Amino acid sequence: MMAVRAVNGGSLFRSAASPPLLTFGCRFRQFSSLPFRRNSELGLRFPIFCCGNQFLGYGGGLSRSVHSIVDCVMEELTAWRSRRRIRATVKLTTSGELLEDKLVNQEIEKGLLLEFKKDSDRVLLGVAQRPDGKKNWMVYDQNGVTSSIKPQQITYIVPGVENFDHAEISKFLQKAQENLDPTLLEIAWVELLEKNASVTAEELAEMIFGSSEPLESYCAHLLLSKDEVYFTVLATKGSRTIYGPRPTGQVEELLHKKLAKDASEKELQDFVQLLVSAKAKATLAKPSKSSWIMDEKIQYKIESLEAYAIDACKSDEQRKTAGMILKAMGLTKTASSALNLLINIGYFPVHVNLDLLKLNILTDHSDEIIAAAESLLSDSSDSDEMNREDLTHLKVYAIDVDEADELDDALSATKLQDGRMKIWIHVADPTRYVEPGSMVDREALRRGTSVFLPTGTYPMFPEKLAMEGMSLKQGELCNAVSVSVILHSDGSIAEYSVQNSIIKPTYMLTYESATELLHLNLEEEAELKILSEAAALRLKWRRQQGAIDTSTLEARIKVVNPEDLEPSINLYVENQADPAMRLVSEMMILCGEVVATFGSRNNIPLPYRGQPQSNIDVSAYSHLPEGPVRSSAIVRIMRAAEIDFRKPIRHGVLGLPGYVQFTSPIRRYLDLLAHYQVKAFLRGESPPFSAGQLEGMASIVNMQVRVVRKLSASSLRYWIIEFLRRQPREKKFRALILRFIKDRIAALLLVEVGLQASAWVSIGSQVGDEVEVQVEEAHPRDDVLYLKEVLRN
C-alpha cells in the first residue's frame, strides 16, 4: 500500500515495504555524485533527487503521473536492493575504529559561537566573551543577556567560527531553523546503517548538505540532537558527541511511537483551541457542560482537568494529561489554574462547590432506586393499621425552617384536670413504607443522612418518597409514631407511652411565626402556650440535673439560582435561645429521653447516646456573659459524644440519664434504625437488629455523617464570606469577643451574620465585649476573610 508524504513542498510516495531511505520514492544517487542546488541567501546546497528524467529539489515538484512514479519507485527499489552499497566522499568511523579519535574538544576562546544549556528546559546560543575565573566563561546569548557558564553547560561549539558578531546570533538561528529538514536524517541513516558507521555533526553536514561550513554544521547538530528516531548517542566528551544509526527494528518502533505522539499532540492542540474558543465567548454563549462529554476523548481531557482541580486524579496518566493541557494553555500546573480554566470555559459555575466534588457526596438517586421508591408509594397497605391510635382530634403544630421539605416531627399539648401538662411528640413513620434490608433501605444506609446545603437539599430517601409519602403534611391524615409524656410539676417525667398513631397536622409554622404567636399569647392557641411552658419547665429541670446550655447564634443561608454569576443570597441568623427554637429543641430532647427509657425497660438494642461532662467545672465560666460567649468557652472543653447499643448511658451535657435520637427518621439513618427497633417491639416481634449489628451499621453511618458535616460547614462558610464580599466596604458589623488567640488577636462572632472570625482588637477590650469591624478582604474560594476593628472616638 502506498502512502503519500510531503518533503520540501513536493508530494513523495513511499511503499510500506521499502527501506526508510526511499521515503523520497526517487532514485538516491551516490553522495559523491549528488547534484546540489545552492541557496544563494544561506550559502547552503540541497540534494536533488531524480526519478527518470524528472527532478525533485528544494521547493520543486513532480510532473509525472502517479502510476509512472510508482513504477519508478519500484524500479529504484530493485536497483537499491541489488546494489546495496553507496559510495561517499566523507570518511566515516566504523565499529572497528576508536571513537575517542573524534572526541577531541576544542578549547574555548573569545569569539567562539557556543550552544549551552541555560537550564533543564532551555538551550541557548551565545558568543564567548571572556574567562570568568579559572574555568567559567562569560557569554553573550541570543536574548542579549550576558551570563557566566560552566564548561559542562556547553553542548556544542560551532566549528569554523572566529570572532562571531553577537549581533548576528538571531539571524544565524533563524537561518538554521528555516533549513532544518528531518527527512535528510533518514537518507544518512540508511547509508550509515549499511556501513555500520558513526558520525559527527560536521560529517553529517558534509553528507546531507555537501558542506561542513558553520551554518551547515550547526544545522546538522540540531538535527542530530533533536532526533528521537534514527540516531543514538554513542559517546560524548564535553561539547563533542558521536552518533550512531539505530537498528531497523528499533527505528520502526520509534517511528510508530512518534506517529502516535504526533497524533496525540495534534489532538491536544485541537482541544486547546476548543478551550481558547470557549473562554473567549460571552457567558451565555459558552458551551453547555453536557457538550464537553459527548466526545470520548474530549470527555477524558475534561475529566482529567476536573480531577486535577479537586486533587482527585485516579492515575498518573490523568494527572499528566491535565498538566499538559495547563502547560499548553500557558497556565501554571496548579489545582486553582485547572479550576479557573473550567470556570472560564463554562464547564463549572463560578460558585462550584469543590468540597461536594472532593468528598464524593451522592446528590442524585439512581433510576432503579427511584423506581423502587415509587413502587412503595403505590402500595396502600399498612401493617400497623389495626394498631394505630387515632389522634386526629389533637391540635398539631409542625414547626421548622421555612424552606424545610422533609417534615418529620410535630407537637401537641393539653393540660389535665389535675393541672399537669401532657405533651405529644409526633414523629413521621417512614417504616410504613421501608423495611430493613430492602433496596431503598440499603441506599439510605449508604447515604447515612440527608445533605442540607445553602444551594440545595439532597435527601436520604428519593425526593418523592420522602416529601410526599413519609413527610407530615398540613390538613392530611398522616401515619406517625407518637410519644406522649405527662410531666411532674418539676418537669420530670411522670408517665409516658410510645404508640403508632394517625394525626392530622393543624399548623405548619416557621420558627419566626411560632415566636410571633407566642408573643401574641392568643387564647385560641392555648396549646402552643402549654408547649412553651413545658419547654421552660424541662429546661429548668435539666439544668438542675447538670445540663449545660450551649445555645448560640447560627447562620442559615438559602442561595437562589446558585449557578448564576451573582446568585441571590438570603441570610438568616438564628438565636438558639429564641422561644420557638427553645420550645422545639426541648420537646425533641424530651422525646429522646422517653425512647431511651422505653428501650431500657424493654431491653431493646438502640443507639443510646451519651456525653460525659468535662472534668472542668463549668461554673468557672459564670463570669462570662450568658449566651454565645459563655457557650463558646464551654463547648471548647466538652468531651466527645459516645454511643452504646445495649443500655442507656448518661448524657451529661443534656442532663439526662439516657437519650436516643428519634425525631428525624426521614433525615438521619440512625433515627430510622431506632424506629425499626421500636416498631418491631410494638408489633410484638423481635428487634430486626442485635446490638452488634447496630454498632456495625452505626460505624458506617457516622463516617458518612462526619463527611457531610464537614461539607455543610465549609459550604455555609463559603456563602457567608461571599455575602460579606458583596457588602459596601464602609459597612460596619457588630462582633462579640469570644476569646483571645494570641496577644490582641481575638476570636470574634459576627452578630449579624453568625460567623466566627478573627481580628486584631484594641487594648482594653475584654472577652465578652462588643466591637465594630469592617471587612477589608473577602475571598470565599480561598476561605480568606480579613477584618479590621473600627476604633471609636
CA atoms within 13 A on the CB side of 641: 16
**Domain boundary assignment for the chain:** 112-249, 264-348, 367-711, 727-789
- pLDDT for the residue 96: 44
Residue appearing with cell numbers 481531557: 301
Q: Coil, helix or strand for 751?
A: coil
H helices within 201-334, ranges in order? 201-209, 214-226, 248-280, 296-309, 316-328
- pLDDT for the residue 67: 46
Closest CA to 398 of 321, 296, 480: 480
- pLDDT for the residue 22: 33
- pLDDT for the residue 71: 55
- pLDDT for the residue 99: 60
- pLDDT for the residue 11: 28
- How far is residue 605's CA from residue 781's CA, in Å, rounded to a whole number? 45
How many Cβ atoms are within 10 Å of 299's Cβ, its own excluded?
A: 12
Strand 507-510 relative to strand 397-400: parallel, antiparallel, unpaired? parallel
CB 635 within 8 A of CB 749: no
End-to-end CA distance of the chain: 91
Q: Where are the beta strands (DSSP E) in 605-675?
A: 608-610, 642-644
The grid cell for 166 is: 553577537
Amino acid at 512: E
741-to-264, 620, 744, 759 alpha-carbon distances in Å: 54, 19, 8, 10
Q: What's this model's pTM, rounded to 2 decimal places? A: 0.75
pLDDT digits (tens, 9 = 90+) for 203-231: 999 999 999 999 999 999 999 999 999 99
Residues 6+ apart with CB under 8 A from 693: none
Cα four-point dihedral sign 75, 77, 80, 84: negative
- How far is residue 358's CA from residue 348's CA, in Å, rounded to a whole number? 14
Closest CA to 673 of 604, 610, 611: 604
- pLDDT for the residue 406: 78
CB 719 within 8 A of CB 734: no
CB 500 within 8 A of CB 388: yes
Closest CA to 129 of 143, 147, 148, 110: 110
- pLDDT for the residue 183: 87
Low-confidence residues of the chain: pLDDT under 70:
1-102, 403-404, 614-616, 793
Number of H helices, E strands in the chain: 19, 33
CATH code 2.40.30.10 for 727-789? no
pLDDT digits (tens, 9 = 90+) for 300-334: 999 999 999 999 999 999 999 999 999 999 999 99
CB 210 within 8 A of CB 58: no
DSSP for residue 602: T
